[in-house]
Amino acid sequence: MKKSLLKLVGLVAVSALVLSACTSNADSPGLEYMPDMYRSPAVEAYVDYGEVRGRIDESKKTVLRAMTPPTYTIPFFGTDSTEVKLMMPYSRLANASFKTTHGLYNEPVTTNDEYTAAAADKNMIVLTALNSEKVLAKGKELFTAMCQHCHGEKGDGNGPMVVSGAYSGVPNYAERAALSDGQMFYSIYYGKGMMGSHRSLLNKKEIWTVIHYIRSLQSSEYGKFNSDGSATVADTTNQN
């Protein structure tokens, strides 16, 4: 008798629980139990969080939520035409040989000597007496994080990776002063020799910034200006 009573009570409890999740509204999903099991708590990149369930939050209407743009799209920063031009896709293609030497698959390539042609490309960030200190400081920060381990603190090709014997053949920047900024950009963007492509690590603005810092390693006077605003070092690196 007691067992039957317990079964009856249990059945009533389960029935009550099930029925409590029901509703007369045909569009209602009812009550949810343990929604974390099937609803992702992650922020969804393309959801407009400025309007959630009919509630409008104007402060979030124009905020970018997708932090990593889809492949081949152009990051957009404000309405500064110079910045927009700087962030446009790189006009030069990788050489066809890079498919095997640097793993550049499934993208347009060329048989033309784009590296030599890049000698005509000028640094898109123009150093002035007003921005030089800031640009070089940023360049040093990027160089330290992305380049110093191989190229060395002084750009002499004796970074920790070289000293350890892991890599060899890293050039001394002092011996590459004749290279144009455009050729440096091409080499950093697509890679050259044993160095792999850095375009996934540095955007175009950052690469041009690093190149300015490399120039300062080649000459202690680089990035310095006279009282009349003219550069202390003569323009021999194909700058704007």
Query: Mapping DSSP to helix (H, G, I), strand (E, B) and coil, where does residue 195 land?
Result: strand
First CA to last CA across the chain, in angstroms?
97
**Helical ranges in 26-127 per DSSP H:** 81-86, 98-101, 114-117
The larger pLDDT score, comparing residue 42 to residue 106, is at 106
| pLDDT cut 70: percent of the chain above it | 71
pLDDT digits (tens, 9 = 90+) for 220-237: 999 999 888 888 876 555
**Average pLDDT value over all residues in the chain:** 82
- What's the pLDDT at 191? 92
Distances 126 to 63, 131, 162, 240 between C-alpha atoms, Å? 30, 9, 32, 6
Q: What is the signed CA dihedral for 37, 43, 44, 50, rounded to 10 degrees?
A: 130
pLDDT digits (tens, 9 = 90+) for 181-200: 999 999 999 999 889 899 98
Is 240's pLDDT higher than 50? no
Interval 39-56 mean pLDDT:
67
Q: Which domains are assigned to the chain?
A: 81-218 (1.10.760.10)
